[in-house]
Structure 1
């Protein structure tokens, strides 16, 4: 799920986006304190559909229990980095992303 999310960000693919996110999904960009719900975030991803970014990506699972997971993804661009902290929860429909916090260290 985390890999699919990261890939969709840099490759502009949106085929799984509606299934990836929980209904109570929240996105927070800490650089400008911009907050988006699921509907607004999906609209943003749709606007970027087909845009491919030149970035090296990686991710790691920081913590995982039976029903919650916290991951960190890094997108390294030529002159800056984007770090996403991704929270997932196990639901009746499988794992869903419930929150993404983006930082630019």
Structure 2
């Protein structure tokens, strides 16, 4: 009887471990197009930065056109800016439009409508082999 209880307990333990391990994914599997763009919108408009670092490629470029002046930023500079604005929700209405999409690349326009102006972000995301990541963001203020 003691042996039977040990065998049943051992089988139960193996089943529990197998079920728990079933949810583990390979690196990049969660980095889909939708996840990348939704994480970007959450970080920029709502200050929710969880996962933001993961969806930005190490060599990503961020460019803003303000009037006739072009400002450029690195991933590190954008991460610092987003961390400063953590949990700060922008007072704007946000909409997204897919400009182009295929199996390797997507360009998504993210419009942020504030009182008196619109910030349009053209976000390029690419299939990097380790998931979809943001490689370029070009922002225009109107």
Question: TM-score range with shorter-chain normalisation?
Answer: over 0.9
Deviation above 4 Å: which 4+ runs of structure 1?
A: none
Q: Deviations over 1:19-50 (max 9, x none)?
A: 01001100001113111111111111111112
Q: CA deviation at 1:67?
A: 0.6
Specify every segment of 5 or more residues in structure 1 that has no aligned partner in the other structure, as ranges: none
Query: Which structure has the higher relative contact order (CA within 8 Å, separation 6+)?
Result: 1
The corresponding residue for 1:16 is 51
- Structure number with the higher strand fraction is 1
Give the distance between the partners of 1:103 and 1:73, measured in 2 at CA. Answer: 11
In the superposition, the TM-score normalised over structure 1's length comes to 0.94
Kindly indicate whether residue 97 of structure 2 is the aligned counterpart of residue 60 of structure 1. yes
Give the distance between the partners of 1:44 and 1:25, measured in 2 at CA. Answer: 15
Specify every segment of 5 or more residues in structure 2 that has no aligned partner in the other structure, as ranges: 1-35
C-alpha contact (below 8 Å) 2:42/2:49 kept by paired residues: no
Kindly indicate whether residue 115 of structure 2 is the aligned counterpart of residue 78 of structure 1. yes
Name the larger-Rg structure: 2
**Root-mean-square deviation (CA), in Å?**
1.0
Give the distance between the partners of 1:10 and 1:18, measured in 2 at CA. Answer: 16
In the superposition, the TM-score normalised over structure 2's length comes to 0.71
Give the distance between the partners of 1:56 and 1:3, measured in 2 at CA. Answer: 15
